[in-house]
Amino acid sequence: MTRKLFGTDGVRGTANVYPMTAEMALKLGAAAGRYFRRDGSTAHRVVIGKDTRLSGYMLENALTAGLTSTGMNVLLLGPVPTPAVGFLTRSMRADLGVMISASHNPHQDNGIKFFGPDGFKLSDAAETEIEATVAGEIQLAQAQNIGRAKRIEDALGRYEEYAKTTFPQGLRLDGLKVVIDCANGAAYKAAPEVLWELGAEVIPIGVSPNGKNINERCGSTHTQTAAEAVVAHGAHVGISLDGDADRVMILDETGHVADGDQIMAMLAARWADEGRLRGGTLVATVMSNLGLERFLTGRGLRLERTAVGDRYVVEAMRRGGFNLGGEQSGHIVMTDYATTGDGLIAGLQFLAEMARSGRAASELIRQFETVPQMLKNVRYAAGKEPLKSEAVRAVIAAKTEAIAGKGRILIRKSGTEPLIRVMAECEDEAMLRHVVDEIVGAVQSAV
């Protein structure tokens, strides 16, 4: 079956436009409920979290209606980070976890992500089966077996306490001034509270959500706001999360930004020194910089690349028994601590290294020299398939041959937006610009 609803990270789109409608959320809830109630028992429960988008109320209610209609008992967590849903699904012995969020996208978008009882995101096979159920006739529960719903008041506190346990015993953040940018999103309460309780002097920004300002000129995709705050307050470090707090960017005391590649390099080197890096391997996607691969190779470590999407990173980690992976975009997955990317816990690991080593953030975020990389996006209309164009294919083939031995090219469709992403790396920056611009031009002509 060809998947139409699910992308690389659940179902996502513009709120109140297919597939992000209340009607579809109800169907998805019912289909997911039926999928996890196949044994016919009545003891099943599901936890639902959300970020701070206005449309979260609508989708939360619709999902609850769908899930309870198939006999699932629903526990509403309120605004919590995505990794908190993964943690609480397993901690509270739920059969299913649901996160309502469009991550780093603007407020008008929203999405639905599912987690299995082990706290990990569902496999492609499970999502495909749920999608097939949506398209068919869903068997509802008998009247006496309809599920209940209630709000859980201590969900955020449970996650906060767990997050603190991942910080090394014996270390404190006393004396560190930390800017934390919560993107007006799901971590706006949890992240500043955890940092303060661990001893930091906290300068919180992006902590006044109004339903429409999530990721707006703040967060991990707009780090200028945090950088300005770091410099203005004389902070030692900045931590910038995205809307659902599964991504992080780190800023040093000058406001310089480290992406996920640099953070992963620091963690991999540290964990390898401590004998903690399982298999001597870091798992990252095809988007990670060639400089990261060279850094690891120089230390006798290995980089395993996957398709883009943190779920594919996690699948490779579980398959190979590895415990560290992530994406250049800031998903840092540490399966010793979490089942998905966790921006807050990754930030805590960086702060722990600052506290342990006494080194400045500016030393820790520059682990390797990046190979010049350029990424450009081309938006296309629904129904278009620009990468099937013969003219586009010819240009891609010619430029791939031209850059061979000097760099690499990666062209792919986004799994969450109607975009063609054109990325290339090359030591020769003039050639890099030429290659990317030529391919972008061909794609633009095709759309």
Q: List the catalytic residues.
A: 103
Q: How far apart are CA 412 and CA 426, in angstroms?
A: 18
DSSP three-state, residue 353: helix
Q: How far apart are CA 276 and CA 386, in angstroms?
A: 44
CA 153 to chain CA centroid, nearest Å: 25
| DSSP strands (E only) in 192-274 | 201-205, 237-241, 248-251, 257-258
CA 431 to chain CA centroid, nearest Å: 32
CB atoms within 10 A of CB 95: 20
Measured CA angle at 380 (ends 374, 386), to 5 deg: 80
- Beta carbons of 46 and 96 less than 8 angstroms apart: yes
Kindly state the tokens that stand for 313. 């990173």
Q: Which amino acid is at 398?
A: A
In Å, what is the CA distance from 243 to each residue of 161, 212, 247, 427? 21, 11, 8, 34
Contacts of 357 (CB under 8 A, 6+ apart): 364
Kindly state the tokens that stand for 255. 């406001």
